Structure 1
C-alpha cells in the first residue's frame, strides 16, 4: 500500500445559503486534496498532518477525517488553540470570496508537535504534500524546523510535492512568500502551480514563461494549471505537453477545483498511471466538483461519479 502524508490546515467552513442562514462544514486546501485522493484511490493510505483543539468543533472535525478514511495518527491536539474558521460567498458565476478567522488556529503550531519520532514515520511514506497555504500558516519561527524536516524526508526517498496556492493576505509581504516558495521549488520533485498564483506573485501569466522561470530548480514533474482552459505538463525532461480541458457550462462553485485536481492527479501517479492519463482523470474530477456547492462534494454523489473513471 502506498503512503501519502499531507501537511496543512483544516478549517471550519461557513457557507451562506440565504440572507440569514449559513451551512457549517469543514474544508481547507490540503484537507480537500486528501479527501478527493482517498475517495478516488481507496488503496492509498492517506494521512493528514495538522493540529486541532479540544473543542466540540475539533472533535467533530476529527470524526469527519475518520468518516473520510483519512488517517489521524499525525493529527495533534492543542490544549489552548482551536481550528481556524472562514466564511464563503459566491457570486452569480460561481466565483468565491472569503472572510477568515485563523489567528488562533491550532494548525499554526503543528511543528511544535513534530519530533524525531514523527519525522521517522513521515520518512516511511511515499509522498509528502504541502501548499503555499501550509507554509503561510506555519508560524514563521517554526519554518526552519519545517525545512529541516523536508530535507530529511527527501533524503529518505520521499517524493516532495508542492502546490504554491498563493494567498497574499496570509503573508507579511510578497518577498516573504517568494523566499519560502524558492525553498519549496528547490525541494519539490513534483510542482502543481496555477498560472494565477504566478501572475499575482511574479507577474508571469503564461506557461512558457513559468517553465523558463522554474527551469533552474530542476523539478522532475511540472503540472501547470491554467484555469478552465488547459493543463501544461513537463516531465521526464521532455518537451511541454498541453492538455486541453473540456469546458464546464454549469459552474456552481469553483472553491475546490485545484484541490480536487491535485488529489486525483497525485493518487493516479502513486498508482502508476501515466502523467497525461492522470491529468485527464484529475480534470474530469475537478469539472464534476465545480458543478456542486462547497469544497467537499457529497460523498455518495462523488463516489458514483468516480465509478465512471477509468482508474487503471
Structure 2
C-alpha cells in the first residue's frame, strides 16, 4: 500500500553507462541523490520517498520515470520540460574497483530546476518530514535557484522540517572552489543531519583532521549525522566511532554509490527511530554490499540486509 511521501530527495537523475564486460556497457539509471532515493524507498516503503528533478519529454526521460516508479519512488515532483533531455554519464573502473566518470550533462533538463517560469518551486516541498540533497544538487542548478532553495529552507526548518545534506564535492561542476565552498558552507548552516565524506570536506575546505571537520560542522550549527571514512567506518558528529565487527573481506567490484547508499541506510534507520549508532551500522552494512556489485543500483533481489 502506498502512502504520502515523507522525504523528498532533490537532484539530477541521469542515464548511466556502466561496464558489463570489457566490450559491453550496461544501461542504468542513477545519480547521487537518486541512488539514495532508491535505497531509501526499498527500506521505508512505496510512495514514502519523492524525487525532485527536471527531465525532458524524450524516450530516455520516459525510461527514467519508469525506473523510479518501479522502485516505489513518487514521481509527482518531477518537472517534464518539452524538447529537453536528461544527463548521461559513463563509469570507468580501475583494477581495484575505484571509479571515474565521464559526463554529458551540460544540456540536462535538471539544470533549470527551480528556475523555469511556471516550473517547480521549493514551496511545493512544504509538508515533507525531511528533505535530502547534496552539493551536486546545488552545483547543477543556477545561482538564482540555489538562493531560492536556501531562502525556502530557512522557513521550512522553522516550521519543523528537517534537512539532510551531503557535501558531495565534484570540482568540475563548479565554476571555482570559492563558489563551491561558499554554497556548501551556507547549506551546512540550514542542515540538521550532516552526511559528509572526510575526503570531500578536506578537498573543499583544506587539509583537516576528523576532529577539525566535526568542530567546523558544529560551529555551523549542525548537531546530527555522521562523517564517512570509507572502509574505516563512520564517525558520529558527537565523536563516537562505529565499532566494526570482524567481517569476511568483500571484494570491491565497483565503488559507485558507496556514500549514497550509506546515506540511505543511515536515514532509513533514523526515520524508523533508531539511534545514531544503529543508523551508522545500517549505512555501513548497506554500502559494503553495494560496492560488491557493478553500477550504482544493485539488483533488488540481492538488496537484502546482511
Fold conserved between structures, TM > 0.5: yes
Aligned residue number for residue 291 of structure 2: 290
Query: Is structure 2 residue 168 aligned with structure 1 residue 159?
Result: no
Q: Separation in 2 of the partners of 1:127 and 1:114?
A: 26
Alignment deviations for residues 172-207 of structure 1 (CA, whole Å, 9 cap, x no partner): 111000110111111001110000101211223431
Give, in angstroms, the shift of residue 265 of structure 1: 0.7
Local SS of the residue matching 2:252? coil
Which residue of structure 1 aligns with residue 269 of structure 2? 268
CA RMSD of superposed structures (Å): 1.9
Contact 1:4 1:44 in 2 (8 A): no
1:243 corresponds to? 242
TM-score (norm 1): 0.91
1:188 pairs with 191, 202, 206, which one? 191
Partner residue in 1 for 2:71:
68
Counterpart CA distance in 2 for 1:14 and 1:106 is: 19
Q: Measure how far apart 1:91 and its partner are.
A: 1.0
Q: How far 1:222 sits from its partner (Å)?
A: 3.1
In structure 1, the residue matched to 2:90 is 87
What is the CA-CA distance between 1:17 and the residue it aligns to?
A: 2.9
2:254 aligned partner: 253
Cα deviation for residue 146 of structure 1 reads 1.7
Answering whether residue 62 of structure 2 is matched by residue 59 of structure 1, we say yes
Q: Quick check: 1:37 aligned with 2:40? A: yes
TM-score using structure 2 length? 0.93
Which residue of structure 1 lines up, in the alignment, with residue 80 of structure 2? Answer: 77
1:211 corresponds to: 214
CA offsets 1:23-45 (integer angstroms, 9 cap, x no match) = 11110000000000111222771
Conserved in 2, the CA contact under 8 Å of 1:11 and 1:86?
Answer: yes
Q: How many pairs align?
A: 301
Say if 1:51 and 1:75, in contact at 8 Å, map to a contact too: yes
Compare 205-214 and 170-179 and name the one that shifted more.
Answer: 205-214
| 1:175 aligned onto 2:178 | yes
CA shift at 1:114, angstroms?
8.7
Aligned mates of 2:67, 2:117 — CA distance in 1? 23
Give the CA deviation at 1:151: 2.1
Q: Do 1:41 and 1:268's aligned partners in 2 also have CA atoms closer than 8 Å?
A: no
